[in-house]
A and B are shown apart, each in its own frame.
Chain A
Amino acid sequence: MIALSTTSTRSPLRAPAPTRERPQRRRGWRSDEGFVRLLGALAFVFVLVLPFINASPYVISIMTSALIYVMLALGLNVVVGYAGLLDLGYIAFFAVGAYTSGILTTHFGWPMLFAVPGVIVACIVAGIIIGGPTLRLRSDYLAIVTLGFGEIIRLTANNLEITGGPSGIHGIPSWSFFGWDFADGVTVGGIFFNGKIVFYYFVALIVGAVGVVVVSRLARGKMGRAWKAVRDDEDAAEAMGINTYVTKITAYIIGAVWAGLAGQLMGTHLTAISPNSFQFLYSALILMAVVLGGMGSTPGVIIGALFVSLAPEFLREFSEWRFLLFGVLLVVTMIFRPSGIWPATAVLPWSKDKHVDDDDTDNDQDPRVVSREGFEKDAGAEGAADLLSGREGKGR
């Protein structure tokens, strides 16, 4: 009944040996995955101990913002990098999350923790409203509609009473867990820590780290493959049985929820939000982080987000020149790394195989014959071996 499984009684099936010797797969930290994991773990530890090295409010504050940028960039990477949907109004979901949590906690007095499901629901609804009709179209339309949607959300927030109009929402409460509040501080080993700001930093770090792991696992799984297939060729994906509409909207909603949670963190971190924090500029900056870092590449996107959020801070001493310098740096980066700082297809320097066999180039003419030996050794390939001996005239 099924094409190839008619041969399944022959066992064991295995692919023939490659005709050319392959270099040994690298193991441990020098392998592709191992290296990224090691680097990720080192970065996590560094960011974790940073407050114990330098806990000045300035450093912690910009680092918290940077971590929130990382979260946003990771979310947008799912939408733009994996599913290939150009979203120019991503900051809108950030706003939806921030405003939903702000309104629920200040107007209705919900604890911040209970607002989390509220934010998730609001972002799913927003994602369906905006994605539902537009994801049936090709991405040019999506880009235009999302651009408009981002502005609509900001203008709505600017004009509604419940969102506080242009002055926004003030006095967003901090997180409390089972009667303990961030504002209360904590005593560990006899030392009293009273750094509300530092707690946000850790929350952002942990949520961000969980995001990194979840997104990279999703991307490598079946759903991630479907996203990439839709990005590469929508019709072919449809022919392979992928419901492209559902696949796209799933990616869109995952991105929306992730941005909403980042928005909630941002709101509580700053304790105040206003429509000015959600301008188009920020959508563009996050998109820039994704493109600059490398679309569809988790390490790349993290680097891109850190670059976009921290570079203006490091360039602060150049005062009014800093955004000009920032622009120049971006252009230079794109010239030398056109597919991103760390593209999804990056090859580690020591994995590059510089040795090329002499016969490596002229095999294109006969891809089947080169593997003849492997075939004949293989129990499952009689049919194909017949082919090689030139079975002619079939079907005449």
Chain B
Amino acid sequence: MSGLVVDGVDVHYGRVHALRSLSFEVGEGEIVSLLGNNGAGKTTTMNLLSGLVKATRGTITWNGTDLGSLPAHDLVTHGVVHVPEGRRIFSTMTVHENLMLGGYRVADASLVEKRVQQAYDLMPRLHERRKQQGGTLSGGEQQMLAIGRALVAGPRLLLLDEPSMGLAPLIVKQVMEIIAEVNQQGTTVLLVEQNAKAALRIAHRAYVVETGHVTLSGPAAELADDPRVVEAYLGA
């Protein structure tokens, strides 16, 4: 089985049943978006995939590797890189140091150097700001830095949690374009979003998650026209 397969996963926080038999797939080379409102279980799904929470039932495999049994810090070595919600850049470190840190588990220093340059190529604004502390960047720049940092790790599967959060519409568009560009260069992307409009513009397929399980799924273009999605997420 290639790509990411989440099969019948349950997650409990104490007595709260956060995910109920959640299943979805992300094929290699795709951008798949998980849509849902607050509390639907989007971030729990992300935390599950990145090893921060453990499933009580079900399996998660990435190209045949069982991700559920790996500690969070070893996922990177399997090409699974998580860009957490709220950007979470290292605020007292410079932009350049942040990017270098993305290559922490990459043994070849020249490869890290090359990928940092490529991140600068993709996002020139970061290059201009490379000596600046991460915390002094604007929201959009911080999001770009978080994506750039993940790219330096050499992801095959990029897990993006709410990259549009708190950004102006124009910046959201730029961030989405960067994600599309990264995907074009061969990275599989799982995009968890509340901003359905922006996510459906770049995604190939999408799933709608409600109260911990998938209620709708299909190609992004179809979902964008689906009256239920339009009503709930896009506004008439």
Contacts and interface: CB of A to CB of B under 8 A. Distances in A.
A48 interface: no
A243 interface: yes
Interface in A343-378: 344-345, 364-368, 370-371, 374-375, 378
A13 B177 CA distance: 21
B31 A4 contact: no
B60 interface: no
Contacts of A228: 90, 92-93, 97
Interface string A313-344: 00000000000000000000000000000001
A216 B118 CA distance: 29
Given A226-B101, A228-B92, A380-B121, A236 B84 contact: yes
A348 B120 CA distance: 27
B117 interface: yes
A384 interface: yes
Nearest to B174: A368
A24 interface: no
B138 to A, nearest CB: 5
Contacts of B177: 368, 387, 391
Interface string B76-110: 11010111100011111100010011101100000
B220 A241 contact: no
A191 interface: no
Interface stretch (B14-22, B34-42, B182-190): B182-190
A222 interface: yes
Given A3-B158, A13-B118, A395-B203, A241 B90 contact: no
Nearest to B148: A4
A396 B221 CA distance: 5
A238 B88 CA distance: 11
Contacts of A18: 127-128
Contact of B128 (A19, A222, A344, A395): A19
Interface residues of B, number: 74
A27 interface: no
Interface in B104-143: 104-105, 111, 114-115, 117-125, 127-128, 133-134, 138, 140-141
Nearest to A236: B88
Interface stretch (B1-9, B149-157, B208-216, B228-236): B149-157
Contacts, number: 186
A110 B94 CA distance: 48
A238 B50 CA distance: 9
A217 interface: no
Contacts of A366: 170, 174
Nearest to A234: B88
A207 to B, nearest CB: 29
Given A1-B156, A228-B92, A383 B73 contact: no
A5 B114 contact: yes
A348 to B, nearest CB: 14
A228 B111 CA distance: 22
Contacts of A236: 84, 88-90
B116 to A, nearest CB: 9
B199 to A, nearest CB: 10
7 contacts: A3-B154, A15-B120, A18-B128, A233-B88, A239-B76, A240-B101, A367-B174
Interface of B: 31, 50, 52, 71-77, 79, 81-84, 88-93, 97, 100-102, 104-105, 111, 114-115, 117-125, 127-128, 133-134, 138, 140-141, 144, 149-151, 153-156, 158, 168, 170-171, 174, 177-178, 180-182, 184-187, 201-204, 220-221
Given A5-B118, A241-B105, 10 more contacts: A13-B117, A15-B124, A16-B121, A228-B93, A229-B90, A232-B90, A232-B91, A235-B52, A243-B73, A380-B121
What 5 pairs between A and B have smallest CB-CB spacing?
A241-B76, A15-B120, A371-B124, A367-B125, A241-B105
